[in-house]
């Protein structure tokens, strides 16, 4: 907590000191007072434009409610901008953090630039198109129709919400500056190697530009600060900037006795301030976080962070939210990370695309270990090669300096045409290694076997499989993982997706091991059993060096109906609106979190059909005491992990039953209580009007 407070105070210190440099970079928000209309409204009168602020999406409702009935096509945003005449000697850029998915930028009806890709940032310089001292028209043409040339090429697994759905910035710099248009990166790249508690070697690569007609001499000053503002290291270089091309400069540091970034345990961040000084004034400045760390993934063992083994308790996260689509505020992003931290996760797979810059920065300061990837997913068209390469380059350059990221994801479940896919995935791996030789790469297979040629072209292979949901039984996972241990020893394997749908409005007391994917009946209780069994197996097999639950939150799938709800995937541990944490959420919280947990399952299965029933309790504080209508029950069995308690042969009375659990440990006492209602009327009747016989085992047994 003390380090986090220091981090916040230092950020305030930096923001104050940089504003004193009047000639430095000026970054302004450019989010308010836009006008918007869909292309289908263009023939109408001008008042069909509506006022919006950014972030904005036009699919916040239609893509979430009715499958296949949503607007995907062209739309337009426009805004007035009046630069002062004093800015005519400056450079002016528009930086878009996310526009879905193809954008064209026009200034005063002149084409300024374009971008293809819904999830990465891009920058357009507009200096030469502006009329200084006058009002200028900024127009953005946006299109979110699927196209075979831009990944993702369809809306099958998730929807691409149209719009300028992440913030826009106006950036003003001197004519000599740190590069702004290098794939919208910070323009500086911080590399680290030989990181130990004794020393760390840091290289900072800076890209500079000179748009004057003559060469310029300048000083390049980089300072590494501790969180309390003390200078840890400083270096100054004299540079000559030519008016031709981009200049590349390197500064090397050896930091002695570094304070290491140790994930959730101690997410310590230095601040790196790089300044360009000319004529005795700071003309440009970029600030980046620096977390000194060393990641090492060991096959059949796990993750070692700075030589210390760290459990890889993983969840996946889609960015969309009920009623907001993908146009989220920083507060909404922070809420998601708080929920993920509550469950006890240590690592997050941000699937299946680059996510908001704010969220990567928050992960740096919180201490999550991150998997970042591009949206090369689900289908191959043979026309996406150039765009896949471009989006991977953007992902890496824009996020290169985030210490939380340990791996770059190249693709997810892409196969035929086979030769093309093998070639492209190999090419993407080589590109990632050229851009960043210091991190791992991963590719993901949807098959339950390792020897797929298109998935052997990265450092790590992720495997997505849903035993017991799309086929087979839940417990088939045990045979699968033990088989891989024998057949593919020495491979780095991550269980990159597993899960089952859970509709909190659908409940069933008795469930088997077979999912009913095609039935539209997705009881929460089945998902609970699924996770109890599967995590019980995963936790005992270090061969799976990490695992990621699909998904933290329910999300929109505009091509399907699932669990009786259109346009929804309900594999989330938390509902789409973030209001209900499902039973499996507390299963993982009990297993992963260091916070005390006591939780009785099946609280939403309140109308009981069976008088004789087990009760399942999760407790990470030792053996819980269970009381049913005030009477203590002592007959329990241990489940699949040490937090899993199943009290058997509980007899319910007719009417309302109070189920209460208590546990005390180290002076702390927790209680949880639910109400079940039992009546013969609750029983489901067969076609003969008789109670149905139960032949499958109860959840938790």
CA distance 427 to 67: 36
**What are residue 106's DSSP bridge partners?**
111, 139
Are 272 and 290 in contact by the 8 Å Cβ rule? The answer is yes
If residue 47 lies in a helix (H) or strand (E), which one and from where to where? none
What is the rounded (10 degree) CA torsion for 444, 374, 350, 273?
A: 130
Residues pairing with 50 in the sheet: 36
Strand partners, 346: none
588: left (phi over 0), alpha (psi -120 to 50) or beta: alpha
Q: How far apart are CA 53 and CA 167, in angstroms?
A: 10
Beta strand 216-225 with 231-241: parallel, antiparallel or unpaired? antiparallel
CA distance 291 to 255: 12
User: Which structure tokens are listed for 378?
Assistant: 């689900």
Q: How far is CA 265 from the centre of its chain?
A: 20
Residue 699: closest CA among 638, 622, 642, 646: 646
Quick check: 381 and 358 in contact, CB under 8 A? no
User: Residues 357, 413, 508, 532: which is the catalytic one?
Assistant: 413
Q: Distance (Å, rounded) from C-alpha 377 to C-alpha 54?
A: 28
**Would residue 413 show up in a list of annotated catalytic residues for this protein?**
yes
Find out whether 570 and 520 touch, Cβ atoms under 8 Å. no
Round to whole Å and give the CA distance between 630 and 660.
8
- Residue with the two structure tokens 């590069």: 179
The residues annotated with a catalytic role in the active site are: 413
């Amino acid at each position: 907590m003390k380090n986090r407070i220091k981090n916040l105070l230092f950020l305030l210190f930096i923001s104050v000191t940089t504003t004193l440099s009047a000639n430095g970079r000026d970054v302004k928000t450019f989010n308010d007072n836009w006008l918007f209309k869909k292309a289908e409204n263009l023939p109408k009168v001008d008042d069909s434009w509506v006022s919006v602020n950014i972030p904005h999406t036009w699919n916040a409702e239609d893509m979430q409610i009715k499958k296949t009935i949503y607007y995907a096509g062209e739309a337009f945003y426009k805004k007035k901008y009046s630069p002062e005449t004093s800015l005519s000697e400056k450079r002016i850029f528009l930086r878009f953090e996310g526009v879905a998915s193809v954008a064209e930028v026009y200034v005063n009806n002149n084409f300024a630039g374009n971008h293809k890709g819904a999830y990465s940032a891009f920058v357009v310089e507009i200096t030469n198109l502006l009329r200084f001292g006058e009002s200028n028209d900024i127009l953005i043409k946006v299109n979110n129709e699927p196209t075979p040339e831009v990944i993702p090429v369809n809306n099958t697994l998730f929807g691409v919400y149209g719009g300028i759905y992440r913030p826009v910035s106006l950036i003003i710099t001197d004519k000599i500056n740190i590069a702004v248009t290098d794939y919208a990166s910070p323009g500086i790249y911080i590399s680290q190697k030989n990181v130990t508690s004794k020393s760390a070697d840091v290289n900072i690569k800076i890209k500079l530009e000179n748009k004057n007609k003559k060469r310029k001499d300048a000083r390049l000053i980089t300072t590494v600060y501790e969180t309390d503002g003390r200078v840890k290291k400083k270096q100054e270089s004299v540079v000559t900037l030519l008016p031709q091309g981009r200049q590349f400069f390197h500064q090397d540091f050896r930091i002695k006795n570094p304070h290491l970034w140790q994930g959730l345990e101690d997410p310590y961040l230095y601040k790196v301030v790089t300044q360009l000084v000319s004529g005795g004034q700071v003309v440009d400045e970029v600030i980046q976080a620096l977390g000194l760390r060393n990641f090492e993934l060991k096959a059949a063992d796990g993750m070692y962070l700075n030589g210390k083994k760290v459990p890889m308790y993983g969840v996946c996260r889609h960015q969309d939210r009920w009623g907001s689509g993908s146009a989220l505020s920083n507060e909404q992003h922070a809420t998601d990370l708080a929920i993920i931290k509550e469950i006890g996760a240590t690592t997050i797979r941000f699937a299946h695309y680059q996510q908001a810059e704010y969220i990567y920065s928050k992960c740096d300061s919180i201490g999550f270990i991150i998997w970042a990837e591009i949206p090369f997913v689900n289908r191959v068209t043979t026309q996406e090669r150039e765009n896949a390469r471009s989006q991977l380059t953007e992902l890496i350059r824009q996020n290169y300096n985030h210490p939380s990221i340990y791996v770059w994801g190249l693709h997810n479940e892409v196969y035929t045409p086979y030769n093309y896919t093998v070639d492209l995935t190999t090419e993407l791996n080589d590109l990632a290694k050229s851009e960043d030789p210091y991190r791992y790469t991963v590719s993901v297979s949807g098959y339950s076997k390792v020897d797929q040629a298109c998935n052997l072209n990265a450092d790590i292979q992720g495997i997505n499989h849903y035993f017991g949901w799309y086929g087979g039984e839940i417990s088939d996972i045990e045979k699968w993982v033990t088989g891989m241990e024998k057949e593919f020893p020495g491979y780095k394997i991550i269980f990159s997706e597993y899960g089952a749908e859970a509709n909190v409005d659908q409940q069933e007391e008795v469930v088997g091991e077979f999912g009913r994917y095609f039935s539209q009946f997705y009881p929460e209780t089945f998902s609970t059993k699924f996770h109890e069994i599967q995590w019980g197996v995963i936790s005992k097999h270090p061969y799976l060096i990490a695992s990621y639950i699909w998904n933290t939150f329910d999300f929109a799938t505009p091509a399907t109906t699932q669990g009786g709800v259109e346009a929804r995937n309900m594999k989330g541990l938390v509902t789409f609106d973030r209001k209900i944490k499902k039973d499996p959420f507390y299963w993982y919280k009990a297993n992963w979190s260091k916070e005390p947990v006591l939780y009785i399952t099946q609280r939403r299965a309140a109308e009981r059909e069976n008088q004789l029933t087990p009760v399942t309790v999760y407790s990470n504080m030792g053996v819980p005491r269970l009381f049913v209508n005030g009477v203590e029950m002592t007959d329990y069995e241990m489940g699949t992990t040490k937090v899993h308690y199943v009290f058997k042969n509980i007899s319910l009375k007719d009417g309302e039953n109070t189920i209460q659990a208590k546990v005390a440990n180290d002076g702390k006492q927790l209680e949880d209580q639910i109400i079940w209602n039992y009546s013969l009327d609750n029983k489901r009747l067969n076609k003969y009007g008789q109670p149905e016989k139960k032949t499958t085992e109860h959840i938790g047994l």
